[in-house]
Amino acid sequence: MAQEVDALYRGIKELVTLAEGPAEGGVRGSGLDLAAVAEGQAIAVLDGRILETGPDAEMAKKYETSTHVDLEGYVVVPGLVDCHTHPAFGETRESEFLMRCRGADYVQIAQAGGGILSSVRSLREIPEEELVSKIFERYLGFLSLGTTTIEAKSGYGLSLESELKSLRALKKAADLLPIDVSTTFLGAHEVAPEYRDDPAAYTDLLIQEMLPAVRELAESCDAFVEAHVFDLVRGRKILQAAKDLGYRLRVHVDEIEPLGGTEMAVSLGAASVDHLIQISDAGMDQLASSGTTAVLLPGTSFFLRKPFAPGRRLVEAGALVALSTDFNPGSCYTQSLPMIATLARLNYGFSPQECLNAMTRNAAASLGLSKDRGTLHPGKKADFVVLDLPSFEAFGYSFGGNPVLLTVKDGRPVTVNSSNVPEDLAQQFGIVGPG
């Protein structure tokens, strides 16, 4: 007798579950390139989780349901995990984009009233409920591009009141949509404007007041460790204090110069080090022998016309590697992990398999969430993405559009990028999108 399930997704042209690898944790080296493609598959969903995947004909006999979703002709992969984003901001910064395109540097843009401190001004001024509304729309954008879990940072307030507002807004918006959000406190994003002449005092404020006060609203703590912001001494003090309070550590390091931020973060047991454009050979060696994930952000290099991090060398050295958008209002205004896959293929020589592992399994592992997402092992969340591609080999090949037909979260279709959706399916699941 066939078993009743909540939904059966059938006729999948190519299914990439990543289930041939470990059920938990990340993969390194040659393991990053493993992603078997199975043809003619189906997915059975029960209670929002993967019950089983397998050949379509066999699954149709084994399971029965009132909800059959026909995915004939499409490619299906695990839900994407974006492990480095900055969605808690007020206004966008397109006003400074032309200046940047014509060669203005960070200092010139700041002198003209732009840069991160302009984001600080708008964040401090915006009412909390308006910020929630803006973040809601940004979360919806992530979902429409196949991202089902994100890490979301504060960091544009730089005061206790505005950082609390940011973190509350991130969580309130997450409660309104079927998306999972892991929050990160980034009060050490820049020295607050009122402390520009006394960065040591702002460091003390972060450690003594802000870190304890926001602990219940943030799973992780981040810091921008560079010579012009928080140097190694101040960065270590902030991160050690955060670690003592039980935060996971995620650190912006070695983006501008090889300061040794990677080595410092690894010594503290950081979950991730991010950017790494200027990582040293010593930092690379320490990273490769650690459990810290190297989060690569090729979109930022592309947008700022900077060098790219040594992604290929990091993989070959044996580091855990993840890919992320770095979505933010100033230096990388994109929510598209499919576009990041294109940049990773072009600039790191990544294969489709390496891109997918880096933005699912390894990204989830860096957040401590690989127990129930990042792959389509039975028992994990039924988070997956339906791609309108000729084959999985085309992942990252096209750019400028959205290859995501359907995003499925906890077994339910939640966003669709096509008008060809049966009306009963749209009504049944409350799908958001053109359909």
Q: State the DSSP H helix or E strand holding residue 243, giving kind and residue range, or none if neither.
A: helix 232-244
**44 contacts 59 by C-beta, under 8 angstroms:** yes
Position with higher pLDDT, 424 vs 339: 339
So what's the pLDDT on residue 434? 44
> C-alpha distances in angstroms, 277 versus 66, 314, 400, 416?
51, 11, 25, 35
Res 429 pLDDT > 60? no
So what's the pLDDT on residue 24? 97
Other CB atoms within a 10 A radius of the CB of residue 307 amount to 10
Res 70 pLDDT > 80? yes
CATH 3.20.20.140 residue ranges for the chain: 80-366
Backbone dihedral region of 73: left (phi > 0), alpha (psi from -120 to 50 degrees) or beta?
A: left
Q: What is the mean pLDDT of the chain?
A: 94
**269 contacts 249 by C-beta, under 8 angstroms:** yes
Collapsed DSSP state (helix, strand, coil) of residue 128:
helix
Distance of alpha carbon 366 from its chain centroid, rounded? 10
Q: Report the distance separating Cα 214 and Cα 118, nearest Å.
A: 23
For 211-229, the pLDDT digits (tens) are 999 999 999 999 999 998 9
Rounded average pLDDT over 102-128:
86
Rounded average pLDDT over 119-140:
97
So what's the pLDDT on residue 274? 98
Residue 244's pLDDT band (boundaries 50, 70, 90)?
very high
For 251-292, the pLDDT digits (tens) are 999 999 999 999 999 999 999 999 999 999 999 999 999 999
Token output for 137? 């729309």
Res 91 pLDDT > 60? yes
Rounded average pLDDT over 401-406:
95
Position with higher pLDDT, 66 vs 52: 52
So what's the pLDDT on residue 351? 98
Collapsed DSSP state (helix, strand, coil) of residue 224:
strand
DSSP letter for each residue of 60-99:
HHHEE-S-EEE-BT-EEEEPEEEEEE----SS--GGGHHH
Q: Report the distance separating Cα 72 and Cα 296, nearest Å.
A: 34
80-366 homologous superfamily: Metal-dependent hydrolases (3.20.20.140)
So what's the pLDDT on residue 426? 56
So what's the pLDDT on residue 430? 58
In this structure, of 22-26, 60-64, 67-71, the range with the lowest mean pLDDT score is 67-71
So what's the pLDDT on residue 435? 39
Res 416 pLDDT > 90? no
Res 431 pLDDT > 70? no
**Looking at the domain 3-78+375-429, which fold is it?**
Urease, subunit C; domain 1 (2.30.40)
Residue 432's pLDDT band (boundaries 50, 70, 90)?
low
Collapsed DSSP state (helix, strand, coil) of residue 115:
coil
Residue 192's nearest CA partner among 179, 210, 174 is 210
